[in-house]
C-alpha cells in the first residue's frame, strides 16, 4: 500500500510560519519533513521555496542572503541558530549522572530520564541520519536509560527493583510506584 502524495497546494498549507522561536523549531522541522516526504520528488524544489517563504522575523533574517539548495541545508542553519542542541557526549554524561533527587517521586524521576533519553536518540539520529540505524539506536539508548533509571532509584525502591530477576525488572517498577499503574502508563514506550 502506497502513501498518498500531497499536492503542492495541500503541502504548502500544512507548513506553519516560523519566526525563529526555539520552542517551535522541532514542530516546524517535523511539518516540513512530513510534507517533503509526501510530495512527488519533482515538487520538492518548489516546496523548499514555499518553506523559505514561510520564514519570518529572525528566521528570515538568518536565511535571507544565503543560497539554500536543500531542506537539509535549511534545517542545519535553523538548528544551528535556534535549536537547543546538546552533543551526544553531553547528553550521555547527563543521562549517566542522573539519579533520583530526594524530593523527586519515581514518576518525576522517570520523566527526567525519559526526556534525556529522547534528546539523546534525536541527537544520535541527527549526527547519523541513516534511517536503518534508528531502530538499533533506539534499542541501545533505551536499555542504557533503563539501567540508569534503576541504578539511580533511592532506597528502598532500588533494592526492590534490583532484587527482581532481569526477566521481571520491567514488571517490578510499577510495584515501586504504587498499585494500579501499569508499566506502559508509568514507563511509557521509551524504556
Q: Look at the block and give the residue holding cell 521509551.
A: 190
* Banded model confidence at residue 185, pLDDT cuts 50, 70, 90: very low
Q: Look at the block and give the residue holding cell 510499577.
A: 174
Please state, in angstroms and rounded to a whole number, the distance separating the CA atoms of residues 114 and 108. 10
Asked if residues 57 and 20 have their Cβ atoms less than 8 Å apart, the reply is: yes
pLDDT higher than threshold 80 for residue 177: no
Query: Quick check: pTM over 0.75?
Result: no
C-alpha dihedral sign at 137, 3, 26, 76: positive
**Model confidence pLDDT, tens digit, residues 62-120:** 999 999 999 999 998 998 888 766 777 888 888 888 888 888 888 888 888 888 888 88
Distance between first and last Cα of the chain: 31
- Of 38-42, 51-55, 64-68, 118-122, the range with the lowest mean pLDDT is 118-122
pLDDT higher than threshold 80 for residue 123: no
Amino acid at each position: 500500500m502506497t502513501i498518498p502524495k500531497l499536492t503542492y497546494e495541500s503541502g504548502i498549507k500544512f507548513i506553519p510560519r516560523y519566526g525563529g522561536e526555539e520552542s517551535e523549531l522541532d514542530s516546524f522541522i517535523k511539518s516540513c519533513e512530513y510534507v517533503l516526504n509526501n510530495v512527488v520528488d519533482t515538487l520538492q524544489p518548489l516546496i523548499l521555496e514555499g518553506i523559505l517563504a514561510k520564514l519570518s522575523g529572525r528566521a528570515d533574517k538568518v536565511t535571507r542572503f544565503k543560497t539554500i539548495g536543500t531542506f537539509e541545508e535549511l534545517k542545519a542553519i535553523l538548528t544551528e541558530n535556534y535549536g537547543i542542541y546538546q552533543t551526544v557526549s553531553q547528553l550521555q554524561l547527563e543521562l549517566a549522572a542522573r539519579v533520583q533527587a530526594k524530593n523527586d517521586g519515581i514518576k518525576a524521576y522517570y520523566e527526567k530520564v525519559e526526556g534525556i533519553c529522547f534528546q539523546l536518540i534525536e541527537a544520535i539520529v541527527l549526527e547519523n541520519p541513516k534511517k536503518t540505524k534508528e531502530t538499533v539506536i533506539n534499542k541501545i539508548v533505551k536499555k542504557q536509560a533503563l539501567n540508569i533509571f534503576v541504578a539511580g532509584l533511592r532506597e528502598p525502591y532500588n533494592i526492590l527493583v534490583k532484587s527482581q530477576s532481569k526477566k521481571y525488572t520491567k514488571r517490578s517498577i510499577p510495584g515501586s510506584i504504587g498499585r494500579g499503574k501499569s508499566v506502559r502508563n508509568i514507563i511509557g514506550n521509551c524504556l
